[in-house]
Structure 1
Amino acid sequence: MVARSRILVIGPAWVGDMVMAQSLFIALRRDGAEVDVVAPQWSLPLLARMPEVHRAIALPVGHGNFGLLERWRIGRSLRAYHYDRAIVMPRSFKSALIPFFAGIPRRTGYRGEMRYGLLNDIRPLDKQLLPRVVDRYVALGLPMDAPLPPRDIPLPRLNVDVENRQRLIRQLDLDMARPAVAFMPGAEYGPAKRWPLPHYAALARELLASGRQVWILGSAKEQADGEAIVAAAPSVRNLCGMTRLEDTVDLLSLASAAVSNDSGLMHVAAATDVPLVALYGSSSPTYTPPLSHEARVLYLGLPCSPCFKRHCPLGDTPCLKDMTPPQVMSALQSIWESEDHA
């Protein structure tokens, strides 16, 4: 019997990137590898929903902090696991330290911040050949001479905890008699990725009038945004700040559809296979698309798009402001009509 290879992956630091990284984990596991992932503490419950991950290892270093001593300590502790290979997903210098300290013989990553020596399998990043983030992630798991782009990209799929879902229904007193549409109005990156709150409110009113209900999902940071939508569309449920990240997975599995900015939660929604309308403004759906066959993308493609800015250089974000609630409602209706036809 051939021994299974053991691979240590240094995971990304953002929610959406971690979800897209699951495509790499699936590809590695499909090839027979045992996959452990070093990742920020917040992401461990999300990694627990990925059956391809054998073990998640917390990196107790804040985002942007170097944490040399902590990285050395973790690396030394991992020597006992005798990994065959490490894959470093971020392109920073510090992200390559743990596999080096762990003495892992083959350490793969893209050319980045002077990581020669820390990595010994350094790949050039051809952005034309690998236009999507998920392509770049999966390519890291391939042999150096493999043809690119990868031909078979597995889609992320997060496991749903049925018992936790039932607990949430009771705890939040959710109405399961009417179909729910989940709104995710936040975007950690910045306001240039956020569809205007009055637009969300107008869409909510139309959905409520059609007999559906609306749940707003997000962290405590989006609680005020949720309240602004509720103020303009009474009967909407603002659940921001009332749930954990892994709870969002289970709540989305109950929804009949979701509407989201290009954000981490958009990728979570795509990985639950809920019918999704994804709204793109300053970013590009050719770079970080929702990885789901159940997703519809709305993107105006203005001459100024994509700018990838946190704040709109023009001041009023026309790429999102000019995307109207009727357009989004039409996309939702097309999803439901296709489901009825099927």
Structure 2
Amino acid sequence: MAKLQSTQSKILVLGPSWVGDMVLAQSLFKTLKLKDPNCIIDVAAPAWTLPLIERMPEVNKGIALPFKHGEFALFERIKFGKSLRNEAYTQAIILTNSLKSAILPFAANIPQRTSFLGELRYGLVNDVRKLDKIKLPRTVDRFVTLGLNKRASLPDNIPNPSLIANKDNALATLQKLGIPSPNSTILGLCPGAEYGEAKRWPAEYYAEVAGEALSKGWQVWLFGSEKDIPVTTAINTLTNNRCVNLGGKTNLSEAIDLMSLCDNVISNDSGLMHVAAALDKKLVAIYGSSNPHHTPPMNNKAVVEYLGLECSPCFKRVCPLGHLNCLKNISPQQIIHHIQN
């Protein structure tokens, strides 16, 4: 027994900062467990991603990184890394390509440090993988390949993320917000996108879809962070305040649980879109400036609306041509068609 314990694989994953990418990282965690069911996986990531990690049964624990977004903080990273030495990790898998993200596992004396080379990371990463963007077109492909042996090929079927929701917490959140428990079909709308307006389908289009659902006796719940309050408020105003406006009223953990109660979800390409996919919801994912072939929803029930214009994907925060046709030319009726079937 002691020998088994001493040779047990214990992996520290340096996770991404974006909510959507952290959801996709669960496919890596599942792959690691398929390869070695006894391995222990800890995930170090920004604190705001921990509610996601808590919903992933493959992960032993989440470790909140105390650094500000974009902050280099060399000495603090070294100190934090040294504080993890007693954990005796056998491998670190670094999902981001920055120099600063490779400092911590090096300081933690983790013997195998796996990642793509990234920026100026010679020595910090000692198990370097080649990033072939043609062979690994999707973010999830890139994450999963870091969990495989160096010469192994991607499996034909990559496991989908699948977050665990808590219905009791969802009902408690509704009670806290003074919202009656649902007694009809629920349509969830996620009209925000942290990256920028070139990923946001127009508010008036969302309102038209909401109006159609409301006319059928459905409830419509508007999801979003504090930054999304203007757009959720605009949609609610356009529907004569008949929606349940959750914009800025829930934390990520509460949003996950509430979304688990939805029957259908319509979302821009955002973190909440990946959450909905990982909750196995019937989902319509709307893409504008981004590429659905790079970060698709990992859900067989999902429908992707993407026009693939000559100027798409531009990956810009604001439409550089000023017309936003990649989103404006996706009509509300196209989206309504999906939720009617």
Question: Which of the five TM-score ranges fits, normalised by the shorter chain?
Answer: over 0.9
Could you tell me which residue of structure 2 aligns to residue 338 of structure 1? none
CA distance in 2, matches of 1:67, 1:285: 34
1:11 lines up with 2:5 in the alignment: no
CA distance in 2, matches of 1:89, 1:74: 18
CA distance in 1, matches of 2:235, 2:140: 33
| Alpha-carbon shift at residue 175 of structure 1 (Å) | 4.5
1:232 lines up with 2:248 in the alignment: no
* Identity in percent: 52
- Give the conservation status (yes or no) of the 8 Å contact 1:280–1:299: yes
1:21 lines up with 2:25 in the alignment: yes
SS of the residue 1:39 aligns to: strand
Letter in 1 for 2:169: N
1:127 lines up with 2:133 in the alignment: yes
Letter in 2 for 1:165: A
1:333 lines up with 2:302 in the alignment: no
SS of the residue 1:330 aligns to: helix
CA distance in 2, matches of 1:215, 1:175: 12
Could you tell me which residue of structure 1 aligns to residue 163 of structure 2? 158
Letter in 1 for 2:268: N
Q: Superposition pairs for residues 1-342 of structure 1, below 5 Å? A: 2-3=4-5, 4-30=8-34, 31-32=36-37, 33-147=39-153, 149-172=154-177, 173-234=179-240, 235-334=242-341
CA displacement, residues 98-152 of structure 1 (integer Å, 9 cap, x when unaligned): 11000011100002101001010111100000011000000000011112x3323
CA distance in 2, matches of 1:287, 1:99: 28
- Give the conservation status (yes or no) of the 8 Å contact 1:222–1:241: yes
Could you tell me which residue of structure 2 aligns to residue 337 of structure 1? none
CA distance in 1, matches of 2:181, 2:170: 13
- Give the conservation status (yes or no) of the 8 Å contact 2:171–2:181: no
SS of the residue 1:183 aligns to: strand
Q: How many aligned positions are there?
A: 333
- Give the conservation status (yes or no) of the 8 Å contact 1:135–1:150: no
Task: Give the TM-score normalised by the residue count of structure 1.
Answer: 0.95
**Structure 1: which 5+ residue stretches go unaligned?**
335-342
Task: Give the TM-score normalised by the residue count of structure 2.
Answer: 0.95
RMSD: 1.1
SS of the residue 1:86 aligns to: strand
CA displacement, residues 177-223 of structure 1 (integer Å, 9 cap, x when unaligned): 12110100000011100000110111111111111111100111111
| Alpha-carbon shift at residue 171 of structure 1 (Å) | 1.9
